Structure 1
Amino acid sequence: MAHIPDGVLSVPVLAGGAVLAVAGIGYGLRRIGEEDIPKVAILACAFFAVSLVAIPVGPSSVHLLLSGLMGLMVGPAVFPAVFVGLVLQALMFGFGGLTTLGVNTVTIALPGLACGVLLGLLLRGAAPARAGVVGAVAGAACVLLTGGMVAGALALSASEFVPSARIILLTYLPLAVGEALVTGFAVAFLAKVRPEAFAAHGAAAPVASGVAGAFAGERP
């Protein structure tokens, strides 16, 4: 249930999500270089396609997100990529809603950006096996973060949603495993055939560099 439909969330949650989404999309658009446009477009298409295939799990359903892969490959551009995919899904297939576009964009794109910043530099020069592990961690982490944010949005909207939010969060556990496998294999393959696909992006690069340096024990 990463696509929260209309009429579920409270006005303050919708407004907060819209503000964060506008900020993220604007930031992402400023960081897209001309050479990155085809890659962002392809990833937006991939997100649009895979998230249409929903698998019923208990009272809810889950689908691949690819937000970890997008965050590692295009950094902040994950926001406009996810937003475009969600708009098309809402208008063409009725997935999610129009009033919830902001919240849905943030719950999917923000974990992708976070993983891109925190893990992206670990991929530079990494062997395919190590890159696959990093990709798997990013994929699983993004799904769990998205699940937590969706549950939080529901719980903040109304206390009646708390039991449902807990159940929905549990449905993301098997998805995290599947997402880890898909993202891990994709990242390992790209690290083998096109390692430059994971170059750091924009203003996220200094932050990611500092985090990676801290893990490696480097000093300024």
Structure 2
Amino acid sequence: MHLPDSVLSAPVLVGGAALAAGGVALGLRRMDIDRVPQVAVLASALFVASLVHVPVPPTSAHLVLNGLAGAVLGWSVFPAMLIALLLQAILYGHGGLAGLGVNTVTMALPGVIVWQLFRGGMVRSPSRPAVFAFGALAGGLAVAMAIGLTALALLASGREYRTVALTAVVAHLPVMAVEAVVTGFVVTFVRKVRPELLGARCGFGQPA
């Protein structure tokens, strides 16, 4: 899902950088000091998730975990994603430094959106199946939106990338399914053992 600098037009690069800067600033502003370790842990998870990837030139298909990161971090997914992508660009050449803003937005913004849409269900649902369902929706939809934004960035950079954009969307359909299941299980587990990470006051079967 990483887009290299060479395929992105100047307006897309500038727009992505501006949006990413705003998202990171808002994420840092809303980050309490006691949330820093959580941001660090999830930044590490985001970094590792995409190390195993399938090339789909000029991008790639890999796990994203943006829905899970968004469910736990909210707006702080922006600085976490920025750190992960920066390290990937420097250490492994995934994406690029100029396109860092675009890649951050395409993956972090969906995390924020699913956090806004599904946090109520993940926090207040009294049963494990319901929490799993909300988590699965968050995980699958976050990947769908991320690849949709990636495709839009490609199309905005040139019509010649239309086939590439379609290929990238198709390649990420299995990723959506996997991430839906993974996020559903992880969110259900977190709600049980550390409900405060989701903003919940209690786990299952505990008094509120």
- TM-score normalized with structure 2 length: 0.91
For residue 87 of structure 2, what is the aligned residue in structure 1?
88
Structure 1 residues 104 and 95: CA distance shift in structure 2, 3 A: same
Aligned partners of 1:32 and 1:52: how far apart in 2?
A: 27
Aligned partners of 1:42 and 1:102: how far apart in 2?
A: 21
Structure 1 residues 101 and 130: CA distance shift in structure 2, 3 A: same
**Pair 1:138 & 2:138 matched:** yes
Runs of 4+, deviation exceeding 4 Å: 56-60
Aligned partners of 2:55 and 2:11: how far apart in 1?
A: 30
Aligned partners of 2:59 and 2:23: how far apart in 1?
A: 28
Q: Residues 165-176 of structure 1: matches in 2 within 5 Å? A: 165-176=165-176
Which 5+ residue runs of structure 2 have no aligned equivalent? 201-208
**Pair 1:68 & 2:91 matched:** no
**Pair 1:191 & 2:194 matched:** no
Q: Residues 2-41 of structure 1: matches in 2 within 5 Å? A: 2-41=1-40
* 8 Å contact kept, 2:57–2:164: no
Which stretch shifts more, 49-58 or 141-150?
49-58
* 8 Å contact kept, 1:68–1:115: yes
Q: What count of residue pairs does the alignment treat as equivalent?
A: 199
Q: Residues 175-214 of structure 1: matches in 2 within 5 Å? A: 175-199=175-199
Structure 1 residues 56 and 9: CA distance shift in structure 2, 3 A: closer
For residues 132-158 of structure 1, the C-alpha deviation after alignment (integer angstroms, 9 at most, x for no partner) is 111110110011101111110000100
Structure 1 residues 10 and 59: CA distance shift in structure 2, 3 A: closer
Which 5+ residue runs of structure 1 have no aligned equivalent? 201-220
* 8 Å contact kept, 1:44–1:85: yes
* 8 Å contact kept, 2:17–2:100: yes
Aligned partners of 2:189 and 2:48: how far apart in 1?
A: 20
